[in-house]
Amino acid sequence: MAGLLALLGVLVPMAIHLWNRRPGRLVQVGSLRWLSTAANRRMRNLKLEQLLLLLLRAAIVAVLAIALADPARRIPPPPRHGQVLLSPDLLHSASLVAVRTTIDSLRKQGYELRQLASGLPRLSVAQWRRFDSLATATNAPSAFKPSPDNLWSRVQQAAESLPDRPLRVFTLASQRAFQGTRPVLPTTIRWQTVPSLDSSSWLQAAYKLPTADSLRLVVGSSNEAATTFRTMVVAVPAASGREIRVASLPLLRYEARSSGQAVLRLESGEIVPVQTTALHLAIYHDAAHTQDAKYLRAALRAASLGLPTAPLVTVSTTPPTGGQHLDWLFWLSDAPLPAVWPGRVSQGLHLWQEAPAASIATEATLAQPSAQPIRLLRRDTLAALQVGAALWTDGLGQPVLTCAARGQGASYRLHTRLHPTWSELGSSPELPTLLLNVLQPEPLTSADSTHDRRSLAASQIVAPSQTAAVLTRTATTNRPSQSDLRPWIVVLAALLFGLERWLARRRLVSSPSATV
């Protein structure tokens, strides 16, 4: 507004032109009586002279006034195409059929297709048609290709690499593809999870009693909802190298080695050792941890279905003696641990302890696949680095279960408790599976990296407000940018001033000199 008011300054050169008259020529006349008459006529006849100079001076004032108004030029933004990001596991899955129509509709709107992998490579029309035709033609679970990366990190990188663009993300909800803490994503992202149609079965473990002539096989099966285990009994082959056929599993080959250890070899080359001993587990608890022991015992019983043979579990309020052979000791008490047991860790003992009485409140949930989020209400104040590597974490990235390996054994610290005033772990149907992952001599997580199909709930992948969000910023992402014009206007004013000075000097030189 101040710059526009400055346009009134154009009146200044006009007033100067009207009052700053040129000196008249001196003319010798015979009589002076004509002079007063001519002077009066000149005063009455005020009119604009040297019109070009007047216009130049008015233009200089107007240009400076415009510069004071801070003008800017609106520059149309470059075209920003929306992006469709597809995870590798979805592209190689029969589940792609479920979102094919949606993706084709986005392509017609100008969206570009990219693979949610390193470098965000573009998918050409030919590549998209190839993936689409494979998923449509088979109409059955295809070769499963897990996402090699943490999808949270990949989507966050995509948001930073493609700023202010609408992003549509399509992935499976496989829990293996999500690690660490869920990031806060911009509102330009809409993330849609696709139900998985794939499932898998694998040989988890094998066991043979020394006096038996049969093998007990633990077969794992996993789909989007859960991972389950069933036990099968097959006869021991008469000779090494014989084949064993089990429904839903690849061909198995029984091999007896010179050391006395037998193994089952799969077609893929994977070897599953045949175990010959059962685990010995002891749960010690005091009065304050009675309910914790109840939940733990029930979960261990359920988890034993996934072990080659049922473990031997003892529950007591009397501390075990140092002469007992134990594979696991669950110490549910705030009382000091006898020195004999930490010394046995390096010899193969697995020692489990819960959080001490000192605690702080928390409102986190366990970062594990579950139909219902598992809430954590209290946790201890121990630093994770003091205890070991995190096996379980919460949604904030804080450790829930840590493990410190030492020799042939390990020490475990549960940073909360199974008591309902501490967490919902004790009543969760997921606890047996979580414990099974820890109890296995070869952790289930290593085998699960290929076979696990369990999915996270959509609310655990992206915030609920983001799931239902419409891209309200789409209209603002393509705002035209502005370019400051003041430097150019000042240059124009300088050029006009130079032209004005040149014209004024030229007219002064060309004016005839006056003589008296």
- With beta carbons less than 8 A apart as the criterion, state whether 347 and 368 touch: no
pLDDT band at residue 443 using 50, 70 and 90 as cut-offs: very low
Task: Give the list of residues 6+ apart from residue 107 with CB closer than 8 angstroms, or none.
Answer: 84, 113, 128
Asked if pLDDT for residue 254 goes beyond 70, the answer is: yes
Return the structure tokens found at 366. Answer: 């366990």
Pick from 61-75, 221-235, 247-261, 359-373: least confident: 61-75
pLDDT in tens, 302-317: 988 877 677 889 999 9
User: Which range marks the domain in which residue 395 is found?
Assistant: 280-451
Number of H helices, E strands in the chain: 16, 22
pLDDT in tens, 266-291: 887 888 888 777 789 999 999 999 99
Say whether both 100 and 10 belong to one domain.
no
Say whether both 224 and 251 belong to one domain.
yes
Pick from 14-23, 74-83, 163-172: least confident: 14-23
Say whether both 236 and 380 belong to one domain.
no
Of 238, 258, 275, the one marking the end of a domain is 275
> pLDDT value at position 416?
94
Please check whether residue 457 lies inside any domain of the structure.
no
> pLDDT value at position 384?
45
Say whether both 208 and 192 belong to one domain.
no
Of 275, 293, 312, the one marking the end of a domain is 275
Please check whether residue 219 lies inside any domain of the structure.
yes
Asked if pLDDT for residue 67 goes beyond 50, the answer is: yes
Residue-averaged pLDDT of the chain: 77
pLDDT band at residue 425 using 50, 70 and 90 as cut-offs: very high
- Dihedral, CA of residue 160, residue 164, residue 168 and residue 174, to nearest 10: 20
Say whether both 291 and 368 belong to one domain.
yes
Say whether both 50 and 149 belong to one domain.
no
Please check whether residue 505 lies inside any domain of the structure.
yes
Say whether both 125 and 150 belong to one domain.
yes
Return the structure tokens found at 193. Answer: 């999870």
Say whether both 127 and 60 belong to one domain.
no
Please check whether residue 515 lies inside any domain of the structure.
no
Please check whether residue 467 lies inside any domain of the structure.
yes
* Residue 314, domain CATH: 3.40.50
Please check whether residue 516 lies inside any domain of the structure.
no
CA distance 413 to 283: 15
Say whether both 63 and 106 belong to one domain.
no
Say whether both 94 and 56 belong to one domain.
no
Say whether both 324 and 429 belong to one domain.
yes
Of 227, 253, 275, the one marking the end of a domain is 275
Query: Where is 190: in which H helix or E strand?
Result: strand 189-194
**Amino acid symbol at 26:** L
Q: Domains in the chain: how many in total?
A: 4
Say whether both 321 and 216 belong to one domain.
no
